[in-house]
C-alpha cells in the first residue's frame, strides 16, 4: 500500500542566511584553509624549529576548527526537511537543541498541537508538545500551504494521543475551504470531485469519522467526498494502514431486477479488479457488503491528480505530456489485454495521480459508479471525456482511447475538450507539434473505427513523437515542414 510519506521543506530565514554564507565562503574554508593547513604541516615537518611549535599547533587547531565548523553549518543549513510517515516525524538537525537532540519522534510521543495565530490569514506558529517535556515552534510562513496541510493531516491521522486545539482544527478546516473556494484541490480532496458532479442529492447519509466496519477492521477517518448514492472515505485498515474506502448503495425504490443486476455487476467487477497487478494502477484490496451497502477498499496513493497538477503548475512542456501519455497508454494496453478486455470507462485527468516519486498512477476504476449507474441510468464518466458510443451504451476499448485523447488535450492546453468533438490542441497551444496534434485528433474521432484502434498503436506513435522531440526533429503545428 502506498503510505502517506511526505517530505516538507522548512524554509526559515536564518537557515537560508547561513547556507548562503557557507556557499559564498566555500572557497575559503574548503580550498584555502586546507591549503594553508597543508602548508603549515609541511613547513613544520620539513624545517623543524623554524616555526615555533605552539604557533604551528595553534594554527592547525584553528584551521581544523574553522573547516569542521563550516562543514557542520553547511550540512545543518542544507538539511531543512521534515519527514512524515505513519511511524512518526523526523525533524531537521537545526531543531535538535529544542528536541534534546532527538530528531526522530514517534506519534505516540506527540502530546499536544496548537496554533499561535498572527495577523496573516494563513500564518501563525504551530506549537508541538511532546510527552517528555519538549516544545517545538514551527513558523507556518516557512512552509508552503500544501505542505502545511499535509503536516496537519499527518497529525490528525496518526497523532492518536495528540490533543489538537480548537484553533488548530478550525485553521485546518479553513485551509481546505479556502482551497475549494479558489478552485484548487487540497491534498485531502484528491479524490473529491469525481462523485459530487455525477449524482443528484438523495437521502443517502454517509458514515461519520470513527464509524467502524468489518468488526472494527475498518475505521473511518474522514469523508473525502459524497453525493447521490456514493461516498469516498479515508480509512484505517487494521488500525495502521491508510486506505480509501468507496461506498455505494442502490436506492430502496430501485427496480428489484435492476438492483439485483447492479449488485452482481459490482461484485463481479470487484473480483476482477482485485486480481489486477500493475505498478501504475491503485489496487482494489477487498470488497464487502455490510448493512446493504457495498464497499471497495482501495490502495491509498499519495500525490496530486493531473487536473490540479496542471492548474497549480501552469502549462507542462510537451515532452512531459508525452511521457505522461505514454504511461497512461501503457496502463490501457495492460487493461485491454485482459480476457475479456477491461474497459476503464472514466480515464480523465482527475483519475490519474502523479505520485510523490513522479510515477503516474490510475486511482479509480469507477466500479461503484458503474454499480450505481446500472441501477439509475446514470452515465459513467465526465462529459468532456465520454466517447459518443459510450453515451449510446455500447462501450468498447476504443472508448478509453477517446478519453486518452481528451486527457492529452487537457494536459497540453489546461482546458477540458469540447464534448463529442474532434480535439485539436494546436488551436489553443500553438507550439503543439503537428504530429501530436494529429494523434489527439485521431484519438478523438467520433466513431470508434475512425480512431487509432489499440493502445499498442498509440504507444508506437507516442514513442516516435518522443524520439523526435528528444532530437529536435519535430515541427510545431502550423509551421512549415
Indicate whether 191 pLDDT > 60: no
Confidence of residue 326 (pLDDT cuts 50, 70, 90): very high
**Is residue 379 scored above 50 in pLDDT?**
no
pLDDT band of residue 79 (cuts 50, 70, 90) is confident
pLDDT at residue 119 in the model:
62
Per-residue pLDDT tens over the stretch 148-177: 877 887 887 777 778 888 888 888 777 655
Of these ranges, 104-113, 148-157, 173-182, the one predicted with the greatest mean pLDDT is 104-113
Counting residues of the chain whose pLDDT is more than 90, the rounded percentage is 27
Best CATH choice for the domain 81-187 from the list 3.10.170, 2.30.29, 2.120.10, 2.40.50 = 2.30.29
pLDDT at position 303, please?
81
Is 90 exceeded by the pLDDT of residue 52?
Answer: no
**pLDDT (0 to 100) of residue 461:** 96
At residue 178, the pLDDT reads 56
Spell out a b/e string for 159-196, using b for 16 or more CB atoms within 10 Å of the CB, else e.
Answer: beebebeeebeebbeebbeebeeeeebbbbbbbbbbbe
Residue 479, pLDDT above cutoff 80? no
Mean per-residue pLDDT for 63-71?
A: 92
- Average confidence (pLDDT) over 396-404: 94
pLDDT given for residue 151 in this prediction: 84
Give the pLDDT of residue 323: 96
Choose from 278-292, 308-322, 431-445 the range with maximum mean pLDDT: 431-445
| CATH homologous superfamily, domain 193-299 | Phosphorylase Kinase; domain 1 (3.30.200.20)
What pLDDT is recorded for position 226?
62
Task: Give yes or no for residue 373 having a pLDDT over 50.
Answer: no
State residue 197's pLDDT score: 39
Residue 120 binned pLDDT confidence (cut-offs 50, 70, 90) = low
Contact 371, 265 (CB under 8 A): yes
Query: What is the rounded average pLDDT of the residues 18-37?
Result: 89
pLDDT higher than threshold 50 for residue 186: no
Average pLDDT of the residues in 12-37: 88
Say if residue 368's pLDDT is above 50. Answer: no
Per-residue pLDDT band for 328 (boundaries 50, 70, 90) equals very high
pLDDT value of position 277: 87
Tell me which of 61-70, 221-230, 241-250, 356-365 is least confident.
Answer: 221-230
Residue 251: what pLDDT? 60
Looking at per-residue pLDDT, the higher value among 96 and 227 belongs to: 96
Residue 476 has pLDDT above 70, yes or no: no
Mean pLDDT of 74-100: 84
* Greater pLDDT, 386 or 187: 386
Cell of 195: 462523485
Q: What does the pLDDT average to over 458-478? A: 81
Name the CATH superfamily, with its identifier, for domain 304-471: Transferase(Phosphotransferase) domain 1 (1.10.510.10)
Q: What is the pLDDT of residue 423?
A: 93
In this prediction, residues 83-108 reach a mean pLDDT of: 86
Amino acid at each position: 500500500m502506498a503510505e502517506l510519506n511526505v517530505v516538507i521543506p522548512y524554509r526559515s530565514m536564518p537557515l537560508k542566511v547561513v547556507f548562503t554564507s557557507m556557499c559564498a565562503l566555500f572557497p575559503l574554508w574548503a580550498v584555502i584553509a586546507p591549503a594553508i593547513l597543508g602548508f603549515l604541516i609541511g613547513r613544520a615537518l620539513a624545517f623543524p624549529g623554524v616555526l615555533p611549535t605552539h604557533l604551528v599547533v595553534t594554527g592547525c587547531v584553528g584551521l581544523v576548527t574553522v573547516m569542521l565548523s563550516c562543514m557542520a553549518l553547511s550540512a545543518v543549513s542544507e538539511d531543512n526537511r521534515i519527514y512524515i510517515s505513519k511511524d512518526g516525524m523526523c525533524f531537521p538537525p537545526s531543531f535538535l537543541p529544542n528536541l534534546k537532540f532527538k530528531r526522530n519522534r514517534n506519534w505516540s510521543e506527540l502530546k499536544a498541537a496548537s496554533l499561535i495565530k498572527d495577523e496573516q490569514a494563513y500564518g501563525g506558529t504551530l506549537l508541538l508538545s511532546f510527552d517528555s517535556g519538549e516544545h517545538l515552534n514551527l513558523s507556518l510562513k516557512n512552509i508552503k500551504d500544501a505542505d502545511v496541510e499535509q503536516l496537519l493531516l499527518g497529525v490528525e491521522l496518526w497523532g492518536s494521543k495528540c490533543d489538537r486545539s480548537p484553533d488548530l482544527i478550525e485553521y485546518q478546516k479553513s485551509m481546505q475551504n479556502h482551497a475549494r473556494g479558489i478552485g484548487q484541490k487540497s491534498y485531502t480532496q484528491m479524490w473529491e470531485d469525481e462523485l459530487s458532479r455525477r449524482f443528484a442529492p438523495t437521502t443517502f447519509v454517509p458514515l461519520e469519522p470513527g464509524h467502524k466496519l468489518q468488526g472494527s477492521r475498518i475505521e473511518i477517518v474522514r469523508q473525502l467526498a459524497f453525493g447521490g448514492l456514493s461516498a469516498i472515505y479515508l480509512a484505517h485498515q487494521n488500525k495502521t494502514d491508510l486506505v480509501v474506502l468507496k461506498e455505494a448503495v442502490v436506492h430502496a425504490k430501485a427496480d428489484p431486477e435492476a438492483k439485483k443486476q447492479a449488485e452482481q455487476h459490482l461484485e463481479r467487477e470487484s473480483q476482477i479488479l482485485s486480481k489486477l497487478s500493475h505498478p501504475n494502477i491503485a489496487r482494489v484490496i477487498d470488497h464487502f457488503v455490510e448493512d446493504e451497502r457495498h464497499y471497495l477498499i482501495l490502495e491509498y496513493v499519495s500525490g496530486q491528480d493531473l487536473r490540479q497538477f496542471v492548474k497549480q503548475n501552469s502549462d507542462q512542456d510537451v515532452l512531459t505530456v508525452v511521457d505522461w501519455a505514454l504511461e497512461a497508454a501503457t496502463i490501457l494496453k495492460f487493461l485491454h489485454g485482459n480476457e475479456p478486455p477491461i474497459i476503464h470507462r472514466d480515464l480523465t485527468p482527475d483519475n490519474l495521480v502523479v505520485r510523490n516519486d513522479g510515477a503516474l498512477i490510475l486511482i479509480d476504476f469507477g466500479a461503484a459508479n458503474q454499480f450505481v449507474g446500472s441501477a439509475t441510468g446514470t452515465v459513467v464518466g465526465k462529459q468532456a471525456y465520454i466517447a459518443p458510443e459510450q453515451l449510446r451504451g455500447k462501450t468498447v476499448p476504443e472508448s478509453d482511447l477517446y478519453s486518452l485523447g481528451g486527457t492529452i488535450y487537457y494536459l497540453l492546453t489546461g482546458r477540458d475538450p469540447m464534448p463529442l468533438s474532434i480535439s485539436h490542441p494546436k488551436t489553443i497551444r500553438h507550439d503543439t507539434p503537428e504530429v501530436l496534434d494529429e494523434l489527439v485528433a485521431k484519438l478523438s474521432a467520433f466513431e470508434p473505427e475512425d480512431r487509432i484502434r489499440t493502445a499498442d498503436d498509440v504507444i508506437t506513435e507516442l514513442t516516435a513523437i518522443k524520439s523526435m522531440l528528444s532530437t529536435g526533429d519535430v515541427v510545431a503545428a502550423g509551421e512549415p515542414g
